[in-house]
Structure 1
Amino acid sequence: MILRLLVMMCAAFALPACAQTGQAEADNAMKISPVIYLVRHAEKQTGSDPALTEAGAARAGRLAAQLADARLQAVYATDTARAQETARPAADDHGLEITSYDARDLAGFAQALKQAGQTALVVGHSNTTPQLAELLGGEPGPEMDESDYDRLYAVSLTDGQTRMFVAGGDDRP
């Protein structure tokens, strides 16, 4: 009888502690780590500031669909027509404006992204996107050439873990 009472008293003190621990774990699970999605602009036409091709516009639309559940808080693109057009569908789907950034100051931009701590899409270029991934603490992957339009980086701001997807493909991040 005394042993049974002792077990019941221990359980009475332990259960609230377990409940609090469980709640803390649930609260942490609900927090979403900020992720920066990086992509090169989609397929472009020719010229000094080319717009997207029909295939590029279709890829930009599929990219927006891929990121539909990403809870984007910001969308960034360089001032070029091709980058702005690639970013537009995702920005529109999330009710966001596109903020232009200067690709000549990637280190400063990376620092600003880290400080903002937001889940964001960044549309850049073949010579800036892998470098920005690295500046954010992620893996740059192989160099991009002029024919690479399908690499989508997802860089976690929490631990720098990088995942790559096919941009504008059928797989969702």
Structure 2
Amino acid sequence: MHKILFSIFILIAICGCNNKSKSIASVDTVSIPDATYYFLRHADKVRGPNAGDNPPLNATGKARAKFWAKQLKDVDFDAVYSTNFKRTQSTALPTAKQNKLEVKIYEPSEDFYSNFKSNHVGKNVLVVGHSNTIPAFVNAVLGDQKYNEIDDSTFGNLYIVKVKNGVAEAELKDFNSWSK
């Protein structure tokens, strides 16, 4: 009789463990934290024959950089990136300062783009680049050729890429008719 009761006890324990394991597995699904990435082209730069290869922002560009910081004031950024140019760093700096962050320099490349999403899971990140690099970067994060190069006279595009459970979606906001 004891052997039968012991066998029944073992059977119940095994069945109970299996059911418990299944319920834990179904409840304990892996979720990827949401992330939001903000992409900007640098603000208006000095132009002309004496501007050189690395021109700074002009007066309108400096005002626009402050405008971006004001527009993004409610975002708690984890990182701010810029290419290694005066105009991109100056565009990124007001937003970085209001978040008490240093501007990190990045080199636009397929390697950097391909690792960006996995290196910034669950983060809010601002990236400042150029008319050709920002659309390429956004497209790389999306895994889709959605955006073309930005026209040389356009400085007010804000690309917002939201990643939910590993899936990226983009929105393009037009701030080209802003006022100082």
**TM superposition score category, shorter chain reference:** 0.7 to 0.9
**Aligned AA (2:141):** L
**Aligned AA (1:111):** S
Find the partner of 1:108 among 102, 107, 111.
Answer: 111
1:84 aligns with 2:89: yes
Deviations 1:45-95 (A, max 9, x none): 032210001111111111011111111100000000000000000000000
- Cα distance in 2, alignment partners of residues 52 and 66 from structure 1: 19
Give the number of equivalent residue pairs.
140
- Cα distance in 2, alignment partners of residues 128 and 37 from structure 1: 14
**Aligned AA (1:113):** F
> What is the match of residue 164 of structure 1?
172
Instruction: Find the residue that maps to 2:84 and give its secondary structure.
Output: coil
- Cα distance in 2, alignment partners of residues 125 and 142 from structure 1: 12
CA-based RMSD of the aligned residues comes to 2.2
The alpha carbon displacement at 1:128 in A equals 0.7
- Cα distance in 2, alignment partners of residues 75 and 169 from structure 1: 25
Instruction: Check whether the contact 2:83–2:106 (CA below 8 A) recurs between aligned residues.
Output: yes
> What is the match of residue 37 of structure 2?
36
TM-score (norm 1): 0.73
Find the partner of 1:58 among 58, 63, 85.
Answer: 63
**Aligned AA (2:130):** H
What's the % identity of the aligned pairs? 32
Which stretches of structure 1, 4 residues or longer, exceed 4 Å deviation after superposition? 167-170
Gaps of 5+ in 1: 1-23
**Aligned AA (1:41):** H
